[in-house]
Amino acid sequence: MTYQNFSREDFVADSYFRKWVQTPDEATRQFWYDYLTTYPEQTETIRQAAEVILQLATVTGEQNPRISEGALEESWQEIHHRIVHPVVAVKPFYRRRWVWASAACIGFILSWGLYYYRTQQVLEPYQQLVAHADETLEEWVNTTKHVQTITLQDGSSVLLHPGSRLSYPKRFESAKREVFLSGEAYFEVAKNAKQPFFVYANEIVTKVLGTSFTVSAFPKDKQVIVTVQTGRVSVFAQSDQQMKEKTQSPELEGLVLTPNQQIIYSREKVRMVKSLVTQPSVLAKSTGSAFIFRNASVREVFAAIEKAYGVHVIYDEDTFRHCQLNADLSDEPLYQKMEIITKSIEARYQIVEAQFVISGEGCAP
């Protein structure tokens, strides 16, 4: 259970959450700390849920007495005071184990939230990542108005755009080649399957073995965009609970992109969407007649599109088996090609997960 979309009421009804609030132990503390680190936007919801659990405590006995509003408010004030001004003395009210457990839980939420807020205000994601890097890094800041070229120790090259900065080790001596980006850069990575290359950019991690791609991750932008020119890359969020496994795996895991594909990560919605680039380019070598069709079947037409652009076209061959095309599409961009093709066979297309999905009634025999 991830608890990602839990509401206040969901948390109150959850037994594992109630255990943490009322009788926390090392396991529950660690679990909910990890949860808040992954989903910081849930901090206020969790704080409210903890208050509700305390207010609704109805079981009797010394261990779990009902809490009055005055006692709860006094507890909150004392917790806040202890966070700011730690003291050794303890009031009799707080000697009860169940109260201490709840206070510790809420105190943790308050202190964690304060730490997270201050950290986010002081440090950008890029600065946080650089500060926690395992290796000593060098930084290149492009303060000019033109793209600058950086050659890394492994032979990889980076075209760093104006207003961007890149931190990287002088030598890649660990099992992973890791660099940290704020802004936009085009990477041409030297192939080395035994030493994968990672680009950390805001909330996104891009992993490659050797390819070319662009990352755009300016601090104030609402989106992070990764676009692939050649080869394959995998992209995943730093909040991904399986991030450690994905970074250590020799394979490309996560959301895998191929040429003419991109992901757009919304920082507000914390969501990645895979799509085609705005202007897909021809990847395969082709002659000038590659897109000149004369009584060509739909199968031939879509096969030519897939080969040239590296995209997938999904359609029902049986439905469109009688459709043919007569057209010269040599000078048309991909989307215009698809528009002409689908109109000619009385169909329509949608782009779903970077694939063209064709629908329609087909052609009369």
Given a cut of 90, whether residue 349 has pLDDT beyond it is: yes
Instruction: Compute the average pLDDT of residues 340-364.
Output: 92
92-130 confidence digits (pLDDT tens) = 433 444 444 455 555 555 555 544 444 444 446 788 888
Q: Do 155 and 104 form a contact (C-beta atoms < 8 A)?
A: no
Domain boundary among 122, 146, 175: 122
Percent of residues, the chain, with pLDDT higher than 70 = 74
**Residue 355 pLDDT grade (very low, low, confident, very high; cuts 50, 70, 90):** very high
Give me the domain span that covers residue 306.
292-360
210 phi and psi, to 5 degrees?
A: 165, 105
Same domain, 40 and 106: yes
Same domain, 168 and 261: yes
Same domain, 47 and 112: yes
Tell me, what's the pLDDT at 138? 92
Mean pLDDT of the chain: 78
Query: What's the domain count of the chain?
Result: 3
Residues 6+ apart with CB under 8 A from 16: 28, 31
Partnered with residue 297 across adjacent β-strands are 324
Residue type at 155?
Answer: G
Domain boundary among 76, 100, 122: 122
Q: Does residue 217 belong to any structural domain of this protein? A: yes
CA 22-103-34 angle, to 5 degrees, is: 75
CB burial of 195-210 (b: ≥16 within 10 Å; e: otherwise) equals: bbbebbbbbbbbbbbb
Write the DSSP string, 63-110: SSPPPPHHHHHHHHHHHHHHHHS--S---GGGGSHHHHHHHHHHHHHH
Cα radius of gyration rounded to whole Å, the chain? 28
Write the DSSP string, 136-151: -EEEEE--SSS-EEEE
Instruction: Compute the average pLDDT of residues 143-149.
Output: 94
Given a cut of 50, whether residue 69 has pLDDT beyond it is: no
For residue 282, give the 3-state DSSP assignment: coil
157-198 confidence digits (pLDDT tens) = 999 999 999 999 999 988 889 999 999 999 999 998 889 999
Q: Does residue 281 belong to any structural domain of this protein? A: no
**Residue 243 pLDDT grade (very low, low, confident, very high; cuts 50, 70, 90):** low
